[in-house]
A and B are shown apart, each in its own frame.
Chain A
Amino acid sequence: MELKASNISFSYNKNRKILQDFSLSVNSDQIIGLMGDSGSGKSTLCKIMAGYISHYSGEVTLEGKQIPDKDFYPVQLIFQHPEKTMNPKWKMKKVLNESWTPPQDLKDTFGLKEHWLTRWPNELSGGELQRFSILRALNPKTKFIIADEISTMLDAVTQVQIWEALIDHCKANNIGILAVSHDKDLLEVFCDDILYFDEVNNL
């Protein structure tokens, strides 16, 4: 299966273009890394590919077909700031189960503790919240994961644990990953290919 973005152009206002003729493709068995300066439009691209923004020109296709807007979106985005993606008035159990109910062994591999489920989002640390948002995105219907700086909140030991668990799960279930990060060393460890944002963006 192939997730393909072709000739994407986008701007928030007339004065400044963010993306110009941007093309990129990820296969199910691949992990592609993406690097670039802050403010260059990496997160915008992620949002477009995951269906959060609709008024762009160009095309995002899955297996050559446009992705239908209804139903579960097979491309899931994991955000840079997990605290912004959770309803502050929902307890963590509701936050997680909004997407699906993961089996216990998966919760264990991500180090998710049972008693966190009864807490509110503001009672957990950034790293703890990020485990929830990763697990939430791994719904069985997910075909691609876009990971936008997911491990910057985590310490080095946890970073390894999270990435190993995510990659193991994705390899086993044939899920492709687009990993956005500033950490070149990190991307070089597990990516099949690393793209540099400025080289792909035709501004």
Chain B
Amino acid sequence: MSKLLEVNNLSISFTQYVQGLNRHDSKVITDLTIDVDEGEIVAILGSSGSGKSLLAHSILGILPYNSHVAGEIRYEGQVLDQELKEKLRGDEICLIPQSVNFLDPLMKVSEQAIGECKDENEHKEKKLRQREIFDKYGLDESVDDLYPFELSGGMARKVLLSTALVGNPKLLIADEPTPGLDAKSVKETIEDIRNLKEDGKGVLLITHEIDVALKTADRIAIFYSGYVIEINNVENFKNSENVLHPYSKALIDSLPRNGFNLTEGVQPLDEVSGCPYYENCPIRLDKCEKNKPELIDHKGIMIRCFNFEEVNNGT
């Protein structure tokens, strides 16, 4: 059976004008492979600027005009081209955007959550559902008639969440739905995402908050500098010993509750010939500088590293 969503070897690059008419191609996503099945939640964690949001935007076909996409995205076995993307987005594929700037500043928030309707009846139906969802998130009726600038950061986030939940998507792409929310609302959000899963929907959850990923996801994919470096089951992410890639370990160790350990180094600027994590890697080999490791299957875990076995034998 074909998966709900499959992304194979996706790469995205941008053409920029650097000085005058000098053009420069910068590759942001180099090699991305990920899939989401029905009734499954896949979380994507990764460094800032590693291309997480771009993946979401490319699935919905809302990348800016100067981007070039290569590779293949399949939805229910069909190749997802621009025409199909435009047909499906908003109905079968929904996005919870990362930035609250995605709200229309000139439209009341309740109308934005309801969205486009065919007729009066559909509007009434959706209005009821919108009220229900707003209530659940603690947005009372006075909020319905407000405009986005009158909301606090957390309230705007909740409105964004509602816009996606009012419809009935088969695939939800949640691009950082939780920052700026208090603990209670985060819990509600997690609950809602889990409910979607129970209904057999697929969810691609992009987040920085490892705790949110741990509480919801079935599998977690780690992004670094435009590569998927590890796809692992959620149980293995409870502590850093069971994850394989050194960057994944650093990510878990740097959580406040795990000691707030400092890891030096930033992502490479341009495309590198070897492993993207070479500069900062504690277990690097000589060959990592020039050779790019492939994403390989190691006992059901996808890993992109030459040297992971040694470390994990060592610990």
> Which of A15, A123, A152 is within 8 Å of B180, CB to CB?
A152
Q: Are B153 and A156 in contact (CB under 8 A)?
A: no
Q: Are A152 and B53 in contact (CB under 8 A)?
A: no
Q: Which residues in chain B, 239-280, are within 8 Å of chain A measured between CB atoms?
A: 247, 250-252, 254-257, 260-264, 266, 269
Bound: A158/B179 CA distance, A: 15
Total A-B residue contacts, Cβ distance less than 8 Å:
110
- A115 is an interface residue with CB less than 8 A from chain B: yes
> Which of A115, A157, A185 is within 8 Å of B263, CB to CB?
A157
Residues of B within 8 A of A119 (CB): 16
- A37 is an interface residue with CB less than 8 A from chain B: yes
- Give the number of residues in A that approach B within 8 Å (Cβ atoms): 41
Bound: A125/B14 CA distance, A: 14
Q: Are A111 and B266 in contact (CB under 8 A)?
A: yes
Q: Are A154 and B256 in contact (CB under 8 A)?
A: no
Q: Are B254 and A159 in contact (CB under 8 A)?
A: yes
Q: Are A115 and B255 in contact (CB under 8 A)?
A: no
Central interface residue in B46, B151, B208, B262, by most chain A CB within 10 Å? B208
Q: Are B157 and A38 in contact (CB under 8 A)?
A: yes
> Which of B180, B251, B266 is within 8 Å of A113, CB to CB?
B266
Q: Are B260 and A125 in contact (CB under 8 A)?
A: no
- B71 is an interface residue with CB less than 8 A from chain A: no
Bound: A3/B255 CA distance, A: 30
Q: Are A189 and B99 in contact (CB under 8 A)?
A: no
Central interface residue in A39, A154, A158, A161, by most chain B CB within 10 Å? A39
CB distance from B229 to the nearest CB of A (A): 13
- B45 is an interface residue with CB less than 8 A from chain A: yes
CB distance from A200 to the nearest CB of B (A): 16
Q: Are A38 and B208 in contact (CB under 8 A)?
A: no
Minimal Cβ-Cβ distance residue in A for B178: A152
Q: Are A152 and B266 in contact (CB under 8 A)?
A: no
CB distance from A44 to the nearest CB of B (A): 8
> Which of A43, A83, A118, A126 is within 8 Å of B153, CB to CB?
A43
- A11 is an interface residue with CB less than 8 A from chain B: no
Q: Are A155 and B48 in contact (CB under 8 A)?
A: yes
- A53 is an interface residue with CB less than 8 A from chain B: no
Known: A43-B152, A153-B208, A155-B251. 19 other contacts (CB 8 A): A12-B150, A38-B152, A80-B153, A111-B266, A124-B49, A127-B48, A127-B49, A152-B179, A153-B176, A155-B46, A155-B47, A155-B48, A156-B254, A156-B255, A157-B250, A157-B251, A159-B208, A161-B262, A182-B183
Report B's interface with A, CB cutoff 8 A.
14, 16, 18-19, 45-49, 53, 98-101, 142, 150-155, 157-158, 176, 179-186, 208, 210, 247, 250-252, 254-257, 260-264, 266, 269
